[in-house]
Amino acid sequence: MAVNLGINLSFVGTRFTEPEEWTRIVAKEFRVKYVQFFSDLMDPIICPPDVREKTCKRIRQLCNNYGLIIHSNFSGTIPHCLNLLLHPDKKMREVAVKWFENGIEDTVRMGSKGYGSFLGALTRKSLFDQNKMRSLIDETLKNWKHISTVAKEKGLEFLLFEPMSSEREIPSTIEQTKWWYQKLNEVSELPVHLLVDVGHGNVNSGNKKDADPYAWLEELKDKILVVHLQQTDRSSSKHWPFIPAYNERGIIDPQRIMSILSKNKKKEVFLFLEVMYPPFEPADKLIVEHIKTSITYLKEIIDNYQ
């Protein structure tokens, strides 16, 4: 199995917004080939269509110039603040579908073949109303079929979805994720792969495995195409880099991750480092060096399994 290390553009934030900047940093500083686009950098609803089109063309040309490959376009932190496909209001769910459609359009324009997101979040009221929740789940599956049809017509090759940490963010447990993986693939016009973030986990499900990143990887390894790598502790999803100070405090062991993923039945898996630092000093001066250190550390571990 091939293991491909890359970078999620979460590190860009408001620091390196210009495509000329982040493509240079990824190619010249990080020296990785694979990139996962972070939707906050060009939100498909907030950003005007003409700006999106122009920016996608710039990104595609710059990536070609540097030999970078945008593996996929994935949701950032802005949609994580939204209910998306699980919003209680139908009009807002329609807007969420449009958000997906526009994101697919941008993905194609950037020259990428894959697109994905977390599905959405239930309100507290919807969570405890079984009829409402069932209705929203059924509609989400119908909307996913539509989204996958659009993606296929536009030329994409696969879709991704990501489990989250809160019981309102569906799915948030290992068993829920297995169910959603099956159902999404049943309705989808394209293959649907799983993206697992090692910093996520549901500590309130009543099942200890749901809070264990290695249990997630072990039980779902044959469904996983993408892993979001971050160093973190048990209190929350920290999105720390893999530098000595955080490795001493953190719970994520990349060697253990590689040991599990090496048994994956897929031909390849993509590991995207997803670091998030506050968008101000001193983080602005530290983040590039911290990611460079992390990539060197991760490459050495990955190479031992290749």
pLDDT surpasses 90 at 228? yes
Give me the chain's average pLDDT, please: 97
Percentage of residues in the chain with pLDDT exceeding 90? 96
Percentage of residues in the chain with pLDDT exceeding 70? 100
Residue 242: closest CA among 300, 303, 298: 298
State the number of CA atoms in the 13 A half-sphere of 230 facing the CB: 21
pLDDT surpasses 90 at 1? no
Locus of tokens 């293959």: 191
pLDDT attached to residue 234: 86
* E-only strand ranges, the chain: 2-8, 34-38, 69-74, 114-117, 158-161, 192-197, 224-229, 268-273
- pLDDT, one tens digit per residue, over 257-291 is 999 999 888 899 999 999 999 998 999 999 999 99
Q: Are 295 and 5 in contact (CB under 8 A)?
A: yes
**240: three-class secondary structure by DSSP:** strand
Q: For residue 9, what pLDDT band results from cuts at 50, 70 and 90?
A: very high
pLDDT attached to residue 265: 83
Using CB atoms within 10 Å of the CB of residue 83, give its burial: 0 to 12 exposed, 13 to 18 middle, 19+ buried: buried
- At the fourth CATH level, the homologous superfamily of domain 2-303 is Divalent-metal-dependent TIM barrel enzymes (3.20.20.150)
* 48 CB-near residues (< 8 Å, 6+ apart): none
- pLDDT, one tens digit per residue, over 26-55 is 999 999 999 999 999 999 999 999 999 999
pLDDT surpasses 80 at 115? yes
pLDDT attached to residue 147: 99
pLDDT attached to residue 235: 87
Amino acid identity of 218? E
State the number of CA atoms in the 13 A half-sphere of 80 facing the CB: 13
Q: What average pLDDT does this structure show over 120-144?
A: 98
Q: What average pLDDT does this structure show over 72-84?
A: 97
pLDDT attached to residue 264: 87
Q: Are β-strands 158-161 and 114-117 bridged in parallel, bridged antiparallel, or unpaired?
A: parallel
Residue 261: closest CA among 233, 299, 223: 223
Evaluate if pTM is beyond 0.85. yes
Helix axis angle, 49-66 to 90-110, nearest 10°: 30
pLDDT attached to residue 266: 87
